Amino acid sequence: MKITKVNTYFVRPRWGFVEIETDAGFTGWGEAVLEGHAKAVLACVEEMSDYLIGADPANIEDIWTTLYRAGFYRGGGVMMSAISGIDQALWDIKGKVFGAPVYQLLGGKCRDKMKIYCWVGGDRPSDVGAAALEKKNEGFSAIKMNATEELQMVDTYDKLDAVLERVAAIRETCGKYFGIAIDFHGRVHKPMAKVLAKKLEEFDPMFIEEPVLCENMEDFRDIAAACNIPIATGERLFSKFDFKRLLTAGGVDIIQPDLSHAGGITEVKKIAAMAEAYDVALAPHCPLGPIALAACLNVDALSYNAVIQEQSIGIHYNVGKSVLDYVNNKEDFRFIDGCVQLPVKPGIGVDVNRDLVLEENKTPHNWKNPVWRHADGSIAEW
């Protein structure tokens, strides 16, 4: 069997899909995107297709290594996201050839279902108490929210108090044991991160996310010493080598590699195993589409240290189209009691609505993240 064609598609709200065709009639789908840089990633996929045409899609490890190592320059968000989408599509083909979900080809499942959480509150969080209660009433046991709006390196305490009030509202409406994940989103710098993390202790959060950016990963130990809350990070890391530095630096309790940014199933399975050796949990990042989510669930199925899965149904970014719009087998993605079943269809587990993908690609999106500024006019982290 040989690869005959590589197709790329822009689909709303902000995603990119890859379709790999073979001469045996098998087709695989992947999700290759770096939010805000979809054009660059899909162009990179097209550039990499020179290595793919004529190759045997069964040789996933060799293709992955060729794309990563043979180009001399390696790593980074764009190239690794391109590899991620290609890798997902190759595993989708392999699963379809053998008539089994991908996780069955990689050792089989170690769990029957996966706990998930929902986003509430939007970029500028508000009304989180009512929104969290709504999700609890729908059967979810955990949510995630952005902690704060813009925050300068050293800022005023009224902004921190506003965070505490929002978290308190969730704890009051949803009870003591409801899971609250608080995403600092890299908007908080070390001087304020230590203060905010310490103040949040009284609410027993499930975790705090990206209290500082991973480019300052040496600070995680200091923040961990300042509070007794699990720290999660990793969505802006792109390879096992990035995560090696993170795990060695210490201070992190949960890693969050993105299956569409960090090398796909092939690489994240290795990253998950590395984290297990450090007694660090796995919670894959996934504010993306159905193919990325299904790829995450396949790795979750395999990974003993997987604890909870992000998903983007209802997330504030999804304008115009949402996750299940592109899925024909919607019943496989039903959420029951805050959990989702593992993929059941051969391959990654998504029967893609190809007609809608083709229609969306006629008018490619150009999603960009907001550009925020502080009151003094300087750029703020979004």
Q: For residue range 190-219, what is the model confidence (pLDDT) as tens digits?
A: 999 999 999 999 999 999 999 999 999 999
| Burial tier of 85 (Cβ tally within 10 Å: 0-12, 13-18, 19+) | buried
Taking the chain, what is the end-to-end CA distance rounded to the nearest angstrom?
45
Q: Are 264 and 85 in contact (CB under 8 A)?
A: yes
- pLDDT above 90 (res 27): yes
Per-residue model confidence (pLDDT) at position 59: 98
The whole-angstrom separation of Cα 196 and Cα 184 is 10
Q: For residue range 348-376, what is the model confidence (pLDDT) as tens digits?
A: 999 999 999 999 999 999 999 999 999 99
Average pLDDT, the chain: 97
Per-residue model confidence (pLDDT) at position 317: 86
Type of residue at 100: A
Q: Per-residue confidence at 61, pLDDT binned at 50, 70, 90? A: very high
Q: Are 330 and 7 in contact (CB under 8 A)?
A: no
Paired tokens of 379: 């750029």
Q: Is the peptide bond before 290 cis (omega within 30 degrees of 0)?
A: no
SS (H, E, C) 210-225: CCCCHHHHHHHHHHHH
- pLDDT above 90 (res 123): no
- pLDDT above 90 (res 314): no
Per-residue model confidence (pLDDT) at position 202: 97
Q: Where do runs of H (alpha helix) occur along 256-314? A: 264-277, 290-302
Nearest CA among 356, 369, 368 for reference residue 9: 356
The whole-angstrom separation of Cα 299 and Cα 327 is 20
The whole-angstrom separation of Cα 76 and Cα 73 is 9
Relative to beta strand 281-282, strand 254-255 is parallel
Sign of CA dihedral 105, 108, 113, 114: negative
- Any long-range contacts for 240-243 (C-beta under 8 Å, 24+ apart)? 240/267, 240/270, 240/271, 240/274, 241/75, 242/75, 242/214, 243/271, 243/274, 243/275
Give the other-Cβ count within 10 Å of 116's Cβ.
22
Paired tokens of 2: 């040989």
Cα distances (Å, whole numbers) of residue 117 to 44, 177, 253, 299, 366: 32, 14, 18, 17, 28
Three-state secondary-structure class, residue 46: helix
Q: For residue range 238-278, what is the model confidence (pLDDT) as tens digits?
A: 999 999 999 999 999 999 999 999 999 999 999 999 999 99
The whole-angstrom separation of Cα 246 and Cα 272 is 13
- pLDDT above 90 (res 148): yes
**What's the pTM?**
0.97
Report the percentage of the chain scoring pLDDT > 90: 97
- pLDDT above 90 (res 29): yes
Per-residue model confidence (pLDDT) at position 111: 98
CA 150 to chain centre: 23
Which residues are known to be catalytic?
Answer: 185, 285
Per-residue model confidence (pLDDT) at position 214: 96
Q: Per-residue confidence at 77, pLDDT binned at 50, 70, 90? A: very high
Per-residue model confidence (pLDDT) at position 316: 86
